[in-house]
Amino acid sequence: MTETPGEDGPDIDADRLTREWAERRDADAWSLANAFDAPGTYLEGNSLGPISDHAEAAVGDLLAEWRDLAVEGWSDSDWFEWGERLGTRIAPMVGARDDEVVCANSTTVNLHTLVGTFLRESDGAEVLVNELDFPSDHYAVRAQLRERGLDPDDGLVQVASRDGRTIRAADVEAALEANPEVGVVVMPSVLYRSGQLLDIPAITEAAHAHDALVGFDCAHSVGVVPHEFADVGVDFAVWCGYKYLNGGPGAVAGLYVNRRHHGTTPSLTGWWGHDKETQFEMNERFTPADSAGAWQIGTPPLLAMAPLRGVLDLFDEHDVTVAALRERSLALTDYCIDLADERLPECDVAAPRAPDERGGHVALEHPEAYRIGEALQARDVVVDVRPPDVVRLCPAPTHVGFADVFDAVAALRAVLDGEEYEQFDAPDGGVT
């Protein structure tokens, strides 16, 4: 690509902003799009990844085993170890050792049990979060503070954003210095609105320097951003299986616990987290597994795990690594930002422009975000809206191509030109 420097940075080669360029780029790039079946122009993989043929086949395989084996599947198949086996396969994506990852529960349940565990193990009475978190994370943290007889209004300490879009590691460190009672830090890896990728190594280092334990909600990064949890020294992490991992609605979630914490009794205990060697002895007292598997609670929902297993088979079949997914994701989000800059002057790009500060989606701000989302849906372009003013475009690297990105931006341009959003009501009759 040829770029000519301008006053405000490099000028984008005009040819790059055409659909013909996007088609050529798609022809030259790897893609798994043929394995997925997504409705319309689907740029909402950061909410729910589409179905793949491998996911569908994996569900069929499990149903066949259930039919043939019934209860004997727990002994004659590998059902008993699915949580650990899937965890082992995801461990390289997050830079973890095999026994540090397990697939279990839901994201919020995992956050409850891990925050509860590490709040108990810490010397502090406060949890540090930030004001741009996904609200459910705060619900869980507040609940765990209440369970320990602490006032969540006092114990939930929030790092403020400087611009309403991002959180800076320096501000996390400043909050730690100002609040010595913080025992646990809980941050997202990627902010769900703007798409900012937080500096996990810097935040981890700051937390440990202040004798706090640190965990991350990685729902918006696992499967699209490589992590190095073990090397960095992250204490714990959680994520879902239905976004970039394409594991289906309600897919089993995942969790990471650093090996130095293995053997700790979880705050929420259940028989599936018991030491596997003695699990069926039905002992009166709980003996935690000496692995991340201890944070499993109940019998694993195999039907909510099978699609994830199928997608991981798809990745293995095509030798797809998270590094390759990240490279393709950045190329797609770069292209989306370039097109938005050129074609959508009414929209502010809220996503960080520096690639190493950006997750897998691009946030565009417009006061009519909600109605724009409705108008795009009417055009069979599926995007995501976050109130009050954010339209999120997610070119998930598994199934979205450069031409899809071009088409989505072109549709948004047409919606604005024709004021097509005027056909739709604002939520609750108010403004967006």
**Domain match, 298 and 342 both:** no
The phi-psi region of residue 149 (left if phi > 0; otherwise alpha if psi is between -120 and 50; otherwise beta) is left
Residue 192 catalytic? Answer: no
Q: Across residues 373-401, what is the average pLDDT?
A: 97
- What is the domain range of residue 249? 56-315
Sign of the alpha-carbon dihedral angle for 399, 405, 410, 416:
positive
Question: Over the stretch 183-204, which tens digit does the pLDDT of each residue have?
Answer: 999 999 999 999 999 999 999 9
Give the DSSP H or E segment for 343. helix 322-343
Question: Is the pLDDT confidence value at 6 over 60?
Answer: no
Structure tokens at 182: 């913080």
Helices (H), 107-245: 107-121, 135-147, 152-155, 169-178, 200-209, 229-232
For 235, which DSSP code?
Answer: -
| Choice among 216, 242, 256, 315 that is catalytic | 242
Residue 392 catalytic? Answer: yes
Report the share of the chain in percent with pLDDT over 70: 96
Of 251, 322, 333, nearest to 49 (Cα)? Answer: 251
Domain boundary (293, 315, 337) is at 315
**Domain match, 391 and 256 both:** no
User: 44: which residues sit within 8 A by CB, 6+ positions away?
Assistant: 382, 383, 384, 392, 394
Question: Over the stretch 53-91, which tens digit does the pLDDT of each residue have?
Answer: 999 999 999 999 999 999 999 999 999 999 999 999 999
The count of structural domains within the chain is: 2
**Structure confidence at residue 427 (pLDDT):** 83
Question: Is the pLDDT confidence value at 135 over 90?
Answer: yes
| Choice among 26, 61, 80, 134 that is catalytic | 134
Domain boundary (265, 287, 315) is at 315
| Choice among 217, 235, 384, 404 that is catalytic | 217
Q: Is 204:305 a contact under the CB 8 Å cutoff?
A: no
Question: Over the stretch 202-256, which tens digit does the pLDDT of each residue have?
Answer: 999 999 999 999 999 999 999 999 999 999 999 999 999 999 999 999 999 999 9
CA 328 to chain centre: 17
Where residue 146 sits, what CATH number does that domain have?
3.40.640.10
The phi-psi region of residue 367 (left if phi > 0; otherwise alpha if psi is between -120 and 50; otherwise beta) is alpha
Q: Across residues 274-299, what is the average pLDDT?
A: 94
**Structure confidence at residue 14 (pLDDT):** 75
**Domain match, 377 and 333 both:** yes
Question: Is the pLDDT confidence value at 431 over 60?
Answer: no
Residue at 49 is within a domain? no
Question: Is the pLDDT confidence value at 331 over 70?
Answer: yes
Residue 242 catalytic? Answer: yes
Sign of the alpha-carbon dihedral angle for 185, 385, 407, 363:
negative
Number of Cβ within a 10 Å radius of residue 198: 22
Q: Across residues 115-125, what is the average pLDDT?
A: 94
Residue 358 catalytic? Answer: no
Phi/psi of residue 153, nearest 5 degrees: -70, -25
Residue 80 catalytic? Answer: no
Residue at 291 is within a domain? yes
**Structure confidence at residue 432 (pLDDT):** 36
**Structure confidence at residue 428 (pLDDT):** 72
| Choice among 89, 168, 243, 328 that is catalytic | 243
**Domain match, 349 and 311 both:** no
Question: Is the pLDDT confidence value at 134 over 90?
Answer: yes
**Domain match, 285 and 220 both:** yes
Of 231, 233, 250, nearest to 241 (Cα)? Answer: 250
For 290, which DSSP code?
Answer: S
Structure tokens at 211: 């004798």
Structure tokens at 262: 């293995």
Number of Cβ within a 10 Å radius of residue 30: 11
**Structure confidence at residue 13 (pLDDT):** 74
**Domain match, 194 and 308 both:** yes
Q: What are the beta bridge partners of residue 184?
A: 127, 213
**Domain match, 337 and 309 both:** no
CA distance 300 to 146: 28
**Structure confidence at residue 430 (pLDDT):** 46
Q: Across residues 251-272, what is the average pLDDT?
A: 97
CA 268 to chain centre: 23
Question: Over the stretch 16-33, which tens digit does the pLDDT of each residue have?
Answer: 999 999 999 999 999 999
**Structure confidence at residue 12 (pLDDT):** 57
Residue at 39 is within a domain? no
Mean pLDDT rounded to a whole number for the chain: 95
pLDDT band at 2 (very low <50, low <70, confident <90, very high): very low
Q: What are the beta bridge partners of residue 378?
A: none
